[in-house]
Structure 1
Amino acid sequence: MSDELGAKPHYDLGPYVHDCEHPGCARWGSFGFAVDRAEPHWFCSEHQPEWKSRHEAQPRR
């Protein structure tokens, strides 16, 4: 038995465009960042935040 019986075809409408989340910027947010399973935040190349690697972000003892 097939899982596709009665399934409706999926039609893509094209790529999803994210706008930059920086206040006042209307450019395309091509850089998406998320921590764990949180919703990603999208930024353009000019406003992408400086992200630290996991080792840099850990506090030193």
Structure 2
Amino acid sequence: MTEDKRAAGSTDAVHVEHWCQAPGCKRWGCFGYDKGKGQSDWWCGDHRPDRMPGY
């Protein structure tokens, strides 16, 4: 028997769409970077900031 470890009253995960923020890019933003105060930047694998100097 499997034990359900979700909290009482919880719901399923919510899917939020995050697209790459690089100008002209239409790819999925799978890398999120916290900007603070509840804001995040989202980038695809080709445009993530640690791979693009000066971004």
For the aligned pair, the TM-score class normalised by the smaller chain equals: 0.5 to 0.7
Q: Percent identity?
A: 37
TM-score normalised by length of structure 2: 0.59
Structure 1: runs of 5 or more not aligned: 1-9, 52-61
- Going by fraction, where is strand more abundant, 1 or 2? 2
CA-based RMSD? 2.5
Structure 2: runs of 5 or more not aligned: 1-9
Q: Which has the larger radius of gyration?
A: 1
TM-score normalised by length of structure 1: 0.54
Aligned residues: 43
Equivalent residue, structure 2, for 1:57? none
How far apart are the structure 2 equivalents of 1:48 and 1:23?
A: 12
